[in-house]
Each structure stands twice: as C-alpha cells, then as structure tokens.
Amino acid sequence: MKSEGLLAAPATEDMHPAVALFRSLADPTRLAIARRLAAGEARVVDLIGELGLAQSTVSAHVACLRDCGLVTGRPEGRQVFYALARPELLDLLAAAETVLAATGNAVALCPNYGTDTERADVGAKQ
C-alpha cells in the first residue's frame, strides 16, 4: 500500500500542520464541541446547555476551533450558528472512533495519554 499525504511526509517540519490539527482536537472540551457540531449547527448557548460548561469556556474553545479553521460561524440576527468548516472533519472523527473501537482500551490505558479515571476503571474490572 502506498502512503500519500500526511503519511508520506516523514520530515518533522512537514508534520507541524498535522500536529496542530490533532492538538486543536486534543482538548476534551474542543473535541466535545467538534463532535456536537458533527451533528449540525449550534449556537454557543446551545453548546452551554448541552455540555454543561460556562459561557466563557465554550466561547473560548469555539474561538480556538474557529481560529484553527475547523469551525465557521453563520451570523443570523444577533446570534451566530457554528458548524464544522469542512466535511472531512466528519471523516476524521469517524476514523478516530474506528481506531478506538479497534484498539479497545489501549489508548485509555496509555501511561502518557490515558486518563487516570480510565486506567482505574479498567484496573478495577480486572
């Protein structure tokens, strides 16, 4: 199988855009916002209610995603409806779910990136 695009660029400096993309989604709140927007447009007030977070927190994370080019805003009167900027993000989120399903608890148990809660839950079940 021939690698193209992201996988074909082994030079570290060529990986900076991919690193920035994954970092932008690495925050749990930003990932939750992206996953919610995968289902359709939402206003900050909608995200506040659905995520149970403060307005300032949601607004800051939406602004970050917008600044990264992952989210767009559509003004309507005094409101702004946010949506994923690119349909390819749906594919990325779906691919992540597929990888997580295929690897089971491996990522959650990772000593570097897994959460303490996940490691404790899995350890208690064993």
What is the per-residue pLDDT across 39-97, written as a single tens digit (0 to 9) for each? 999 999 999 999 999 999 999 999 999 999 999 999 999 999 999 999 999 999 999 99
Q: Name the residue ranges covered by the structural domains of the chain.
A: 1-86, 87-126
- Tokens representing 40 are 């359709």
What is the pTM for the complete model shown?
0.78
CATH 2.60.40.740 assigned to domain 1-86? The reply is no
pLDDT, position 6: 56
- Range list of H helices, 1-126: 16-26, 28-38, 44-51, 55-67, 88-103, 106-109, 116-125
Q: Would you state the pLDDT for residue 8?
A: 62
pLDDT grade, residue 10 (50/70/90)?
low
Rounded to whole angstroms, the Cα distance separating 121 from 69 reads 36
Partners of 84 in beta bridges: 71
Mean pLDDT of the chain: 86
